[in-house]
A and B are shown apart, each in its own frame.
Chain A
Amino acid sequence: MTGFLLRRLLNYVVLCAIATFFAYSAAALTFNPLARYQTRNPPPPPEVIANLRAELRLDEPIPLRFLHWASGVLQGDFGHTITGQPITAELWSRVGVSLRLFLIGTTIGIVLGVILGVVGAIRQYRLADYAGTFFSFVVLSTPVFLLGVLLQFAAIRFNDAVGTTVLYFTGETTAGFQGSFGAALVDRLQHLILPTIAIALTQIALYSRYQRSAMLDVLGSDFLRTAQAKGLTRGRALFKHGLRTALIPMATLFAFGFGLLITGGVFVEEVFTWYGMGEWFVRGVQVEDVNIVATVTLFVAVLILISGWLSDVLYAALDPRIRL
């Protein structure tokens, strides 16, 4: 099994490097970082433009520029933005912001999604099943940015009803917040709730749909009847034999769901003005900054790599047949 996982890992690393190269090249080809200087009136002196060109290495061929950037990345230096700030300085705080959102959101999403799916399957054609299906359909038909905006409205109504601001929906913490550690934690939590719900809802809807049908397939199987015939209670049979088998196809879906999560993260960070990687990416494209965009792309590729690899590991853990 180790060989299998190592091979997959190597494969992912190569894909990751190539994908980042393509994204870098695409950005370098389409972006014109000097546009905002060229349209300035009066135009800046030609020497300034020439300096900037040299600084941004705009005259070098793109593969060379990429190699220069990539060798820096390998040494932990992600280059500079077009306004001259080092990217590395800002990177880690943004990674932290995004990961906090992703990890909490996905964990909640997976757990609740699996529970909702299993309940829907066991109580098929009952009220709980119909309610879950209806919820999933509506959420999966609602784009994340719309979901975010609607959550903000709900929060405003909620805050008005309570009479004090319980739920915040801009930023990940109150700017210039002073207070004890506990108060700071509460403040962060108040900012965290809405974006996490926005992220988790889509994940719950997606996973519950698949978990429901995976569970239904298993419910009809003979081995589950056998387990009960041999004396297991229905609950134990469902949990130990049913759920475990039904989770196997879900392992692949978790990796697929991750792509969705990242796309959703971009919108959630944008709507709730969280300064995470997604929001950075949007800014990067807006100011046509190649290095920012390449850095975020690399981050995304690595995340998808890890999730893909984790799903391989999970698959191996859940399904003894490929554990060789």
Chain B
Amino acid sequence: MSPTADSTPRVAAVPGSPVDPGGAAPPSRGGLVLRRLLRNKLAVTGLVVFVGMFVLAYVGPLVSPWTYTDQDFTSLLEGPSADHWFGTTQIGEDVFVRTMRGLQKSLLIGLLVGVISTLVATVVGATAAYFGGWVDRALMWVVDLMLVLPALLVIAILSPSFETWLIMIPLLAAFFWLIAARIVRGMTLTLREREYVQAARFAGVPAWKIILKHIVPNMASLLIIDATVNVGQAVLAETGLSFLGFGVQPPDVSLGTLIASGTSSALTFPWLFMFAGGLLVVAVLAVNLVGDGLRDAFDPQSGTGRRVRTWRGSR
């Protein structure tokens, strides 16, 4: 485990350094990870697709002449055309603009939930392990308790009191930090005994500063992977809740509500449904590919196991 916080700036300085006359000096870990990630074609594709979808979701509606509440009475329930790129609904709403608005919401919720939940997991997990004792026991008990009930049930129960879809972000985040917090706690338990942490503690550095400067940077790989994976899971959770009617409420739209309203007539009028469904799968798939690529880039031994080939070769 080596510090990862320092990254790219050093890479540029390294090649000419006197340490390695051959010119192939070891770059910083951050640079190494980035290069490994960029070599992974699937992960790069995922990243490009995800960013592309974000741009599409926010730029698309600006280019289109329609808004998501407009009704075009000259074109009811018609397939994709030059006027309505993704077709229209029963009451003449433009499917393209509605899908883009749904995509905006689903991606934004997913991204924020992924980041927030990882931050919470870091704070709670590191605090529990660093302080130990009753703080640890209390926090881990809360985690155990919250793991008993699936997020879907609790958020659905609370849904009648929702006033705005924004509430979905803190609520989903409240359920996405649990497992990561346990892993962070486990890693902090070992990190806390390291010499440099002990040294900092004896030098009188306050606890929050030790956690922030000496412990968290050492878990950066785990946290980045966790945040990425959570983005995909959060998108799935949000669309699922909205599909059941417990998330984003009409007249506003999310990919989940679009799929829900499109399914009943999807066989005869596939455009009502397939764009929202397709974009949803592609978005989550893209995030998952990036997450998998990050995992390989941070830890080349994980999953791909180079040792296997030597074993096979020697048999």
Contacts and interface: CB of A to CB of B under 8 A. Distances in A.
Interface of A: 11, 15-16, 18-19, 22-23, 26-27, 29-32, 121, 124, 137-138, 140-146, 149-150, 153, 156, 212-213, 216-217, 219-220, 224-225, 228, 234, 256, 259, 262-263, 266-267, 270-271, 281-282, 285-286, 288, 293, 296-297, 300-301, 304-305
A305 B144 CA distance: 11
A23 B288 contact: no
B153 A281 contact: yes
B311 interface: yes
Interface string B213-252: 0000000000000000000100010011001111000000
B159 interface: yes
B2 interface: no
Contact of A228 (B260, B307, B315): B315
Contacts of A259: 147, 150
Closest 4 pairs between A and B when the two form their complex, measured CB to CB: A220-B307, A141-B285, A141-B284, A19-B148
B154 A26 contact: yes
Interface string B274-298: 0001001100110011001000000
Among A144, A146, A216, A266, the one with the most B-chain Cβ atoms within 10 Å of its Cβ is A146
Contact of B311 (A16, A219, A256): A219
A142 B281 contact: yes
A261 B144 CA distance: 18
Given A23-B157, A143-B240, A216-B308, A262 B150 contact: yes
7 contacts: A149-B277, A156-B267, A225-B314, A266-B244, A293-B157, A297-B149, A300-B149
Nearest to B160: A30
B203 interface: no
B153 A220 contact: no
B273 to A, nearest CB: 8
Interface size, B (range):
35 or more
Contacts of A153: 266-267
A143 B278 CA distance: 11
B81 interface: no
Contact of B305 (A16, A23, A220, A267): A220
A137 B305 contact: no
Interface of B: 144-145, 147-154, 156-161, 179, 232, 236, 239-240, 243-246, 259-260, 263, 266-267, 273, 277, 280-281, 284-285, 288-289, 292, 302-305, 307-308, 310-311, 314-315
Contacts, number: 133
B239 A143 contact: yes
A140 B288 contact: yes
A143 B283 CA distance: 12
Among B153, B292, B315, the one with the most A-chain Cβ atoms within 10 Å of its Cβ is B153
Given A141-B232, A143-B280, A145-B259, A15 B148 contact: yes
B109 to A, nearest CB: 14
Given A11-B144, A23-B154, A220-B308, 14 more contacts: A121-B308, A124-B305, A149-B277, A212-B303, A213-B303, A216-B303, A217-B305, A219-B308, A234-B315, A267-B244, A270-B244, A282-B156, A286-B245, A301-B149
B150 A300 contact: yes
Contacts of B311: 219-220, 224-225
A143 B236 contact: yes
Nearest to B42: A137
Contacts of B308: 121, 124, 216, 219-220
A29 B232 CA distance: 31
B280 A146 contact: yes
Contacts of A146: 259, 277, 280-281
A296 B149 CA distance: 11
A229 B260 CA distance: 58
Contacts of B267: 153, 156
Contacts of A142: 281, 284
A48 B149 CA distance: 36
Given A153-B266, A219-B311, A259-B150, A285 B277 contact: no
A191 B187 CA distance: 47
B288 A301 contact: no
A15 B152 contact: no
Nearest to A267: B240
A30 B161 contact: yes
A15 B160 contact: no
Contact of B243 (A27, A140, A145): A145
Contact of B153 (A138, A256, A300, A305): A300
Among A145, A262, A266, the one with the most B-chain Cβ atoms within 10 Å of its Cβ is A145
Given A30-B158, A137-B288, A285-B156, A145 B145 contact: no
B78 to A, nearest CB: 21
Contacts of B288: 137, 140-141
Contacts of A140: 288
